[in-house]
Structure 1
Amino acid sequence: MKRREFVQTASFAAVGLLSLPSFLAAGKATKTLGLQLYTLRDTIGKDPKGVLQKVASFGYKELEAYSYKDGQIFGMAYGEFNKFVKGLGMKVTSGHYGLDMIKGDTWQKAVEDAKKNGQEYMVVPYIQEPDRKTIDAYKQICADLNKAGEVCNKSGIRFGYHNHAFEFQTVDGQIPYDVMLAELDPKKVGLEMDLFWVINAGQDPLQYFAKYPGRFEQWHVKDMDKNDRGRNADVGTGSIDFKPIFAQAKLSGMKKWYVEQETYPGAPIDSAAASAKFLKTIL
């Protein structure tokens, strides 16, 4: 992007930020260590309390949950789960919810449970392949996401969408992620940027921050294996330089971020520990 284009984009964006909700336009990017519990999906279901105790010992303070269903998570009532987490000095700040959950009474119940337990964010993390074959399909999903965001707004919870790489693959001559940024109402839906998947798709997170400042309120931080772009590495050991990305946290609008890892050089719990250790050195 040329310097004049960047200045123009930043100027327009600054005006745009004035129309966003106060919790989006204000505030500082957190340096608090966060973890998406999907990182430990192979073990947390078997021993949630034991795994959470280890996570707390690594210095993580904020958690993003997954697998909530009908008031239950990891075999516990959601309230019991949150109480245990708080007893360890951590907090569940966000959670992932399937696209199939965002309509009707099921969604209302999920939002009520999240609000009751002090959760700040609710995020849809994935669109199944049959549901994303056309740009019109993406636009319909965006309309559904906007409606789900309205429900969250009424409860004081921020709603969001999390990307993978497929949103950057051309469909009907357009980039779905760019279409989503245009179709999603910033007052109702924020973006949780998965930095790994953006880079995996051949895109630059910093360019998106500059073009759409304030839109990327949560991040997933996971590194890329130096020899295999499709695999993760423990944060700090791969090919992604996180320092310049974190340096633009304020421009992006980031409020929360979470380590997430899907493939590992060893035991997943060891990767969670290694990533926390590295990130403490650059924040």
Structure 2
Amino acid sequence: MAAPIALQLYTLREAMNQDFAATVKRVAEMGYVGVETAGFPGTTPKDAAKLFADLGLQVAAAHSPLPVGERKNEVLDTMAALDCTYLVCPALMRDKFDSVDGVKEVCAALNEANEVCKANGLKLGYHNHYWEFTDLGDTNASQVFVENLAPDIFFELDTYWAQTAGHSPVELIQFLGARVPLLHIKDGPTTREGDMVAAGEGVMDIPAIVRAGEAHTEWLIVELDRCATDMMIAVEKSYQYLVSSGLGRGNR
């Protein structure tokens, strides 16, 4: 069976800042099975969770600060309110990926947070951009990252940014296997500066990506950081493309 389709709500951040509830309702009406949270403008995690439940939306995962330091209890309370297991670090210490020691420092921070997550029934994951694939001469930042990260930390593979960095998302999915339960699906020209487009309208080979992850993918999560067209239309067209192509499962 095809994996269910969720939307990373960061995609609609401008609309959510205007009206969180109306925006989420529109996502549900499109047919999305779930959402991935990225903040709660104008509302609270508890109220957002009720809204999601009322609309029949599952919480696939949550982009969140790490549950350490002063924010530890806040983060844990948010995850509990959402009744969500997958806590995803959206990015961490970008400037550290230019050296082996720097990457190891990032891994140490994530490994520490992972222990807190496990103690509280959560699974910690990491979402990549392009800088995690920096060439370090004799090695690549991504290789150091994978080698020094706790093996039970999963990856939410952003397929677009991986390809933009010059790496095959299909090969990465095959290499990482069960460590990639979540795939970020987006499309566009695969340049750092170029605007993204609806899934199916750019250069990404989305069918090959989805096929590569069939054995382990739990969610296909649409995300557009920015868009060359109207964002809401692109979100709906992305959903329609995945469903009509038989690549993902929706509610409509």
- TM-score w.r.t. the length of structure 1 is 0.81
Unaligned runs of 5+ in 2: 248-252
Q: State percent identity of aligned pairs.
A: 26
What's the CA shift string for 1:148-189, capped at 9, x where partnerless?
A: 1121122222110010111112135421111111111122x1
Does residue 273 (structure 1) correspond to residue 236 (structure 2)? The answer is yes
> Aligned-pair distance for 1:143?
1.4
Residue 34 of structure 2: which of 62, 71, 74 is its match?
Answer: 62
What's the CA shift string for 1:217-249, capped at 9, x where partnerless?
A: 211100123899833111011111211211121
What's the CA shift string for 1:105-136, capped at 9, x where partnerless?
A: 41233123202431121111113443433221
In structure 2, what is the Cα distance between the partners aligned to 1:230 and 1:202? 15
Which deviates more from structure 2 when the two are superposed, residues 145-154 or residues 54-63? 145-154
Residue 31 of structure 2 aligns to a residue in which SS?
A: coil
- The amino acid across from 2:72 in the alignment is W
Residue 16 of structure 2: which of 40, 44, 48 is its match?
Answer: 44
In structure 2, what is the Cα distance between the partners aligned to 1:119 and 1:227? 33
Q: Is the 8 A contact 1:65 1:96 kept in 2?
A: yes
In structure 1, what is the Cα distance between the partners aligned to 2:240 and 2:228? 16
Q: Is the 8 A contact 1:223 1:238 kept in 2?
A: yes
Q: Is the 8 A contact 1:30 1:255 kept in 2?
A: no
Spell out the pairing of 1:116-131 with structure 2 (5 A cutoff).
116-131=81-96
Higher-Rg member (1/2): 1
Q: Is the 8 A contact 2:97 2:131 kept in 1?
A: no
Determine the structure 2 residue equivalent to 1:255: 218
| C-alpha distance 30-185 of structure 1, shift in aligned 2 (>3 A) | farther
- The amino acid across from 2:101 in the alignment is D
Q: Is the 8 A contact 1:115 1:157 kept in 2?
A: no
> What is the RMSD computed on CA atoms of the aligned residues?
2.0
Which deviates more from structure 2 when the two are superposed, residues 56-65 or residues 121-130? 121-130
> Aligned-pair distance for 1:77?
1.8
Spell out the pairing of 1:24-43 with structure 2 (5 A cutoff).
31-43=3-15
- The amino acid across from 2:228 in the alignment is P
| C-alpha distance 137-102 of structure 1, shift in aligned 2 (>3 A) | farther
In structure 2, what is the Cα distance between the partners aligned to 1:204 and 1:133? 21
> Aligned-pair distance for 1:46?
1.2
Determine the structure 1 residue equivalent to 2:156: 192
- The amino acid across from 1:164 in the alignment is H
- The amino acid across from 2:5 in the alignment is L
Determine the structure 2 residue equivalent to 1:10: none
Q: Is the 8 A contact 1:199 1:205 kept in 2?
A: yes
In structure 2, what is the Cα distance between the partners aligned to 1:60 and 1:226? 25
- TM-score w.r.t. the length of structure 2 is 0.90
- The amino acid across from 1:88 in the alignment is L
In structure 2, what is the Cα distance between the partners aligned to 1:168 and 1:226? 14
